A and B are shown apart, each in its own frame.
Chain A
Amino acid sequence: MGDQRLLRRFKKGDPDAVRELYHDHGRAIFTVAYGALGDRSLAEEAVQLTFTKAWQAADRFDTEREIAPWLYAIARRAAVDLYRRERRHETSDLDTDMAVLPPSFEGMWEAWMVRSALDQLPDDERKVVEATHFLQLTMAETAAELGIPLGTVKSRSSRAYRRLAEILGYLREATA
């Protein structure tokens, strides 16, 4: 019901609705596009294209469904279109097989779900996950980096990964 109202406002061009949709899904769209295309500028273009296409298709959206898989499908299509456009620029061979996508296009849904799960973490917990997993800092280094006690880093880390395990539980069930 909330999604239905949000999409109606989005279709009318309500800037707050566009921002809300961007806050909920923009990062995930960027993540999958960046992962697939490997280029920041193209990934941002894919985000813009995704929202434009979503706006054009909003009337046809089945409100019984969830927004995320619908937006994901549009985002993937946008990334594929941009990939093929860039390939056309790079090659003069019109017979190049455009149907074959590189391995970077695999696992996009999983990347979307993980990014969305990370976005659902409270800021303080996400920062700890980012520091320990992405920046590869130790717990002590993370404490120094974030200016918080070591015990706080440990408890936030513990809560964050437990939350991630719960949020991503159904993804594992779906693929088990």
Chain B
Amino acid sequence: MNCTDFQAEFLAGRMTRAADAHLAGCSNCRSSLTELRSIRSVIEDPSTWEQPSQGLESRVVSDIGALTTTKPAAAKLWPAVVAIAASLILIAATVAFVIQARPDWTLALEATDVEPTAAATVDGWNTETGTRMRLEVSGLPALASDTYYEIWLTSPDGRHVSAGTFTGSGQVDATIAVRRSEFPRVWITVETNDDDESLSGETVLDTPQ
């Protein structure tokens, strides 16, 4: 048995007599025992095996897409305005910290006919990288495992970006790399777990007209 064989056996939790014999005669493997134990505990830790939700990848793609389409154009056209805005955002962030992160804006979403008793309030913060939102959602039933609620932001020219997903009423946090001033409509749809990343059109909550 060589060192790799021993280490593989140890990680697998199978200490055979041959593995014990190797360890007794190998100072290299004895010196790495602490680290091997630590690696094994990480493999056994449930958090190592937790999977992010299916929609996360498309949210990341959407965030970067929004940054590349909105930021350069604004910077080219209005450099002074952008500089002032950046300063204001920094000041706003500092003020927000001092006053215990009071939201920059609050919005009450309206229910549609799909779930007429649903309601949601959205607290929003303008951050250095876009927008952070905290939603308090009520009246939306828990969904089956193959469906989920998705939060969308939409610009006046009809561009949609996904801000996050959730599966039922309660508090939901979402971060997105666009500014609400450029994507004013906040709305929530029911989506199905499939390869189709477009929105379904089944709206349950929406920004009032």
Chain A nearest CB, measured from B53 CB (Å): 7
Q: Is B88 part of the binding interface, using a Cβ–Cβ cutoff of 8 Å?
A: no
Q: Judging by beta carbons under 8 Å apart, are A158 and B8 in contact? A: yes
A94 to chain B: which residues have CB within 8 Å? Answer: 98
Given A22-B60, A22-B61, A175-B35, A42 contacting B173 (CB threshold 8 A): yes
Mark the stretch among A62-70, A127-135, A142-150 that contacts chain B.
A127-135
B191 shortest CB reach to chain A, Å: 16
Inter-chain contact B56/A44, CB cutoff 8 Å: yes
- Note all chain A residues with C-beta closer than 8 A to B61: 15, 18-19, 22
Decide if B4 touches A48 in the complex (CB within 8 Å): no
Query: Is there a chain A Cβ closer than 8 Å to B209's Cβ?
Result: no
Evaluate whether A89 and B101 lie within 8 angstroms (CB atoms) in the complex, with A26-B56, A30-B56, A176-B32 already known.
yes
B31 contacts A176, C-beta separation under 8 Å: yes
Contact of A31 among B9, B13, B48, B172 (CB under 8 A): B48
Query: Is the Cβ of A115 less than 8 Å from the Cβ of B48?
Result: yes
Q: Given A30-B56, A47-B56, A85–B68 Cβ distance below 8 Å? A: no
User: A110 in the interface, Cβ–Cβ < 8 Å?
Assistant: yes
B174 & A110 in contact (Cβ 8 Å cutoff): no
A43–B50 Cα distance when bound, in Å, is 11
**Contacts A43-B52, A130-B49, A158-B8 hold; do A172 and B173 have CB atoms under 8 A apart?**
no
* Chain A CB within 8 A of B65 CB: yes
Q: In the complex, what residues of A have CB within 8 A of residue B68's CB?
A: 12-13, 55
Tell me the interface secondary structure of chain A in the complex: helix
The CA of A172 and the CA of B175, in the complex, are separated in Å by 36
Known: A48-B175, A157-B12, A176-B35. A35 touches B45 (CB 8 A): yes
Cβ contacts under 8 Å, B46 to chain A = 134
- Bound form: Cα–Cα A150–B12 in Å: 16
- Report B20-41 CB contacts with A as 1/0, cut-off 8 Å: 0000000000011001101100
A-B contact count (CB 8 A): 152
Shortest C-beta distance, B84 to chain A (Å), equals 19
CA–CA, A26 and B172, complex, Å: 21
A171, B39: Cβ atoms under 8 Å?
yes
Contact A55 B67 (CB under 8 A): yes
A33-65: CB near B (< 8 Å → 1, else 0) gives 011001011111101110111011000000000
A residues near B (Cβ < 8 Å) are 10, 12-13, 15, 18-19, 22, 26-27, 30-31, 34-35, 38, 40-45, 47-49, 51-53, 55-56, 85, 88-89, 92, 94, 107, 110-111, 114-115, 118, 129-130, 132-134, 157-158, 161-162, 164-166, 168-169, 171-172, 175-176
A sample of 18 more A-B contacts (CB under 8 A), given A35-B45, A89-B101, A133-B13, is A13-B64, A15-B61, A15-B64, A18-B61, A22-B60, A26-B52, A30-B56, A31-B47, A31-B50, A40-B50, A41-B164, A43-B50, A47-B60, A48-B56, A48-B175, A56-B67, A56-B129, A161-B9
Q: Which 6 A-B pairs have the closest CB atoms?
A: A13-B68, A165-B7, A161-B8, A162-B8, A161-B12, A114-B42
A-B contact pairs, 25 of them (CB 8 A): A15-B65, A22-B57, A30-B50, A30-B56, A42-B173, A47-B56, A48-B59, A48-B175, A48-B177, A52-B64, A52-B130, A55-B64, A88-B97, A88-B101, A111-B47, A133-B44, A134-B43, A134-B44, A134-B48, A158-B12, A161-B12, A162-B4, A165-B8, A166-B4, A169-B7
